Amino acid sequence: MVFDTKVAILVLDGLAVWQKLNVTAFLATGIAGAAPEAMGEPYEDAAGRRHARLLGQPMLVFAATPEMLQRAWRQGIERGLTRAAYVRAMFSTGHDAANREAFRAEPADAPDLVGLALRGPKRDVDKATKGATLHP
């Protein structure tokens, strides 16, 4: 299947594995929440039990340097892409309200990003993630 949009998650290389997984999970939910139209239908198992819907398109996860994250941040804003961000300070918070406070305290033009998810037209997401490699 060919999609008009693309979802890319960039995660700072060098984080502990638990941090990479945590950041990726949070960012994926941010994109899913911002794009309800991209959600697939609920899943049903062979016993007829219903399970939660998943995003209806692939999400590519990239390893990124701090510079790549900042570049993708700027490109995402300039191109009007849907963005979900995770900053380093959020590792020390314990709930959503504290995460939002930590994010708001970051410099608007250069937050201390450890992860960034982007969704939008394929061409624009590709330009924003240029130079990043798929996470091993």
The two three-digit tokens of residue 67, written as one number: 């510079």
Provide the pLDDT for residue 136: 84
> Coil, strand or helix: which one is 38?
helix
Provide the pLDDT for residue 102: 97
Count: domains in the chain: 1
Q: Are strands 82-87 and 59-64 parallel, antiparallel or unpaired?
A: unpaired
In Å, how far from its chain's centre is CA 37?
17
Distance CA(88)–CA(91), nearest Å, equals 6
Query: Do the Cβ atoms of 23 and 115 come closer than 8 Å?
Result: yes
CATH number at residue 112: 3.40.1490.10
Residues (pLDDT < 50) of the chain are: none
Provide the pLDDT for residue 46: 98
Residue 124 sits in which domain range?
5-134
In Å, how far from its chain's centre is CA 27?
4
